[in-house]
Structure 1
Amino acid sequence: MKRILALLLLALAAVPAAAETLSGPATVIDGDTLEIAGRLVRLVGIDAPEGTQPCTRDGEVWDCGEESARQLRALIGTNDVVCQGDELDQYDRLLAVCRAGRFALNRTLVEYGWATAFRSYSDAYVADEIRAKMQKRGIWSSTFELPQAYRLAQRQSTARPSPRPTARRTQAQPTLQGDCAIKGNRSRRGEWIYHLPGMPYYDATRAEEMFCSEAEARAAGYRRAIVR
């Protein structure tokens, strides 16, 4: 009897969550977020520049976050949007793959360079990002901060009071505790490595995840960069 019960529980655990489908006219909130029938939808697996995020091209600053949202509106046009997902994020948004007319919105935004592949959640669009980067499409024709890192910096700047003026410092040393300044990077060889501020290659490292402590980085599967 116990064995039968265990098998039944195992079978139930293996059943995937029911997919949810939303369809209809969509309002673009930003480059990776829509509203359909009063529900917020986050395009899963991609990360577009935030609405207020700037990029720099040929020394000129431009509003790449706003442009990303405009490009999403252009892809949708007058078409209804159909989104399918089976998970909600912490903001109660449906994480979904969406289509509008002939466009698969998630993939097309990355393919055209108006969003990055959100590696923290999926590798589905990494190849599309690599091609867009090589061809310098969209935001890849510019210098920009990864949207994830930009959001983190914005949260930190609003959460902390401005520092008081202090005496002259010979060298600014970032405080790691609570600053979430540790960069996690996944190499093409499959190595998961984290870099601390002040380490060689820290500034040149593209952060795919940010951590507040070394313990947090190690728990996520990263190892410390080797300094020679």
Structure 2
Amino acid sequence: MRVVIAEDNPLLRDGIVLLLGEYDIAVAAAVSDADALLTAVAAERPDAAVVDVRMPPTHTDEGLRAALAIRSAYPAIGVLVFSQWVETDYARRLLSEHTGHVGYLLKDRIVSTGEFVEALRRVAAGGTALDPEVVRHLLAAPAVDAGLARLSARERQILGLIAEGRSNVAIAEALHLADRSVEKHVTAIFTKLDLPHDRSDHRRVLAVLRYLRA
């Protein structure tokens, strides 16, 4: 089995390399940032990648965004997120966009090296490995529609009126806006919700369904 490691802490990164070597797992690359991770995965095509969440330059979500990119481009490569943090939205996306080949473990809850290696082998083989604390967070936090979260207050107000069945003209009258202004807001809503262009009113229906589910 061949893996790539992305961890900005050099001591932990070197420690994982040594640990995996003891279990006859080859480390094709050990890097410290997300860009180097994506480059290494593209070049090496490993069986799995071990990815930290927070890496340079901003130490926020670089690792998780890279993990999602790997899952999208190389669904057969296992991705094991190994972090101190539970990022619920990203965890949900990792688990929902593709089945299998994914894991999310918390560093301070690993009680044995064997447990970590077993989880890595399972993810590389197409299974899943989730820390119970990650599962708890997923169950406790409601799903957030990223598209709806991008809407402005005015756009959410207009989407609510669309859900009531009002036309653009009726919305303009209710909010004392020009018809053209309402049209621009509605177009922005469709764009932020990633709804494809449709000559019919189908996008209005899809937007309303998203609104009601949330």
Structure with more helix by fraction: 2
**Relative contact order higher in (CA < 8 Å, ≥ 6 apart):** 1
TM-score computed with the length of structure 1 as normaliser: 0.25
Larger Cα Rg: Structure 1 or Structure 2? 2
Structure with more strand by fraction: 1
TM-score computed with the length of structure 2 as normaliser: 0.26
